[in-house]
Structure 1
Amino acid sequence: MAGQSRILGWAKLLSLMVALVLFIFPFLLLITNSFKANQAITSDPLGLPASFQWDNYVSAFDKMGYISAFGNSLLITVAGVLLIALLAAMTAHYFVRHNSKLNQYLFFLMVAAMIIPFQAIMIPLVKIYGSLGLLDNKWSLIYMYIGFGSPLAVFIYHGFIKSIPLELEEAALMDGCGRVQTFFRIVLPVLLPTSVTIAVLNVLWIWNDFLLPSLVLTSSEQRTLPLSTFYFYGTYTVDYGPLMAGLVLTLLPVLVVYLFAQKYIIQGVMQGSIK
């Protein structure tokens, strides 16, 4: 039995190591190629760089307009994530605490909206917003992210709020809190683990999204980091070296945030799963 347990343990360890290599390999390949010249990338994409081309990062930083694009991505991501979390929590709380037939219908309608693929509505969406003069505006894009991101967030919050004892809110009301104060002082802090999970999902989605910003943001001043990497695609050629460097610069902020906040992210996810 001890021998079987030891073999099983080594098999699990080997499987995890293989999975780790498969997950990390594309990122390592991206970093390696970001230091190569175009000819070296096309001739030997899997090899190590013979000499490090630091100019790729300088060129990527300049051509992308990195500071402006980073500011746009940061504003859109932070505003979108905060508004999705806040509005979805308030909506889910109302659905749970006012369980009428109408609210049940609206909740199921919101959940059913997750089934509709974005590609099925993107052309009518762009035509309508274009006719209203609302394209090429960061706040229009944030508004769309709220609409597309809220259904999943409401669904997650809805299940979590059901487990919160109603007596907590009733006690706060008896102590003189209004309904708004009760939500922000009692309910919202309890929802923190779930909010962390929703924030992680939406940060990864909004920060890395290319399709929706490419339809809404048309001017170079409004473009996000993923859109800025498109500068390296010419009509007949692709500037692979700066493109790889630009992708690294695009991914770097999210990785830095995760490295510094991973303790709180993992803690929030674990608390939410235990709850």
Structure 2
Amino acid sequence: MNSSRYRPRNFILEIAAILLAIIFLSPFYLVLSNSVKGLKDILIDAASWPQVFHWDNYSKVWDAIDFPQAFFSSLQITVLSVIFIVLFSSMAAYQIVRKPTRFNSFVFLLLVSAMIIPFQSLMLQLVRVTSILELRGELYGIVACYLGFGMPLSVFLFHGFIKTVPFELEEAARVDGSNPYGVFFKIVFPLLMPIIVTVIILNTLWIWNDYLLPVLVIGGNKDLTTLPVAVTKFFGQYTKKWDLALAGLVMAITPILIFFLSLQRYIVEGVTTGSIKG
């Protein structure tokens, strides 16, 4: 009976949770409210509710940055990069776990060590290497870069999850005459679905919102300009069009927000499945 009572401590925790929610949601309010304001209203009072809704900000952004083209570029780069990251990372982690040779252990150590190297320390070398290999301004160039930078963390996640997969299932498949590729893609890969969803979400959020790598690798190729790069068009040396920039920001984050909410159920299932297997 005592445990079911509403105590003052519960009230304090609820108030603290509400305050934290307000703090975390306040940036969304500022972005959404200012995206339908005029530039003058934003400069006067950015926190106020819009007195006049300038819905034409979105149509101006649509035309100014060629939104369909930028959206398609972000989509194809993200989808291709995530597919290759999931495929190659899962295969590499499986090989490392099932054949723990010294070479494989050394490769895994290199991959894990790569996660602590700041990207900024590699920018100049990256620009030079991509130029020598003629990767700059090409779709396969940016996808290859994302594959290289995304594999260390993905291999690390797959490595831990593959250890929970019963080896007896693979032995049974080999007894039935399945080859190594059949064992992996028909037996192991479907069992990795919880961690695959996690890897997809992490890499999709990162690649879709990334700005620095597309600027370095894509360069001036307008056909591959992504949404984060396109939105920076509204920030010049002397002027900043906050009204259009914030509208563009809303348009850029809406697809990835829908993607995240649509996979929320699978996130919960992935965590639950992982905890049961662990």
CA–CA distance in structure 1, aligned partners of residues 24 and 48 of structure 2:
18
CA–CA distance in structure 1, aligned partners of residues 272 and 35 of structure 2:
36
TM-score, normalised on structure 1? 0.96
Matched, 1:169 2:166: no
* AA matched with 1:203: T
Equivalent residue for 2:146? 145
The offset of 1:268, in angstroms, is: 1.9
CA–CA distance in structure 2, aligned partners of residues 274 and 29 of structure 1:
41
Q: Unaligned stretches of 5+ in structure 1? A: none
CA–CA distance in structure 2, aligned partners of residues 151 and 246 of structure 1:
32
CA–CA distance in structure 1, aligned partners of residues 186 and 18 of structure 2:
44
CA–CA distance in structure 1, aligned partners of residues 15 and 177 of structure 2:
58
* AA matched with 2:43: T
Structure 2 residue matching 1:121: 3-state secondary structure = helix
**CA deviation map 1:203-250 (0-9, x unaligned):** 110000001011111222210000000111123101111110000000
CA–CA distance in structure 2, aligned partners of residues 225 and 131 of structure 1:
27
TM-score, normalised on structure 2? 0.95
Matched, 1:258 2:254: no
RMSD: 1.5
Equivalent residue for 2:246? 244
Equivalent residue for 2:211? 210
Matched, 1:32 2:33: yes
Equivalent residue for 2:130? 129
Equivalent residue for 1:88? 89
Matched, 1:233 2:220: no
Q: Unaligned stretches of 5+ in structure 2? A: none
Equivalent residue for 2:54? 53
CA–CA distance in structure 2, aligned partners of residues 214 and 146 of structure 1:
17
The offset of 1:4, in angstroms, is: 7.9
Asked whether the 8 Å contact 1:77–1:206 carries over to 2, the reply is: yes
Equivalent residue for 1:112? 113
CA–CA distance in structure 1, aligned partners of residues 106 and 132 of structure 2:
31
Over the matched positions of the two proteins, sequence identity in percent amounts to 41
Greater mean deviation of Cα atoms: 65-74 or 262-271: 262-271
Greater mean deviation of Cα atoms: 263-272 or 146-155: 263-272
Number of residue pairs matched by the alignment:
275
CA–CA distance in structure 2, aligned partners of residues 130 and 244 of structure 1:
34
CA–CA distance in structure 2, aligned partners of residues 9 and 188 of structure 1:
44
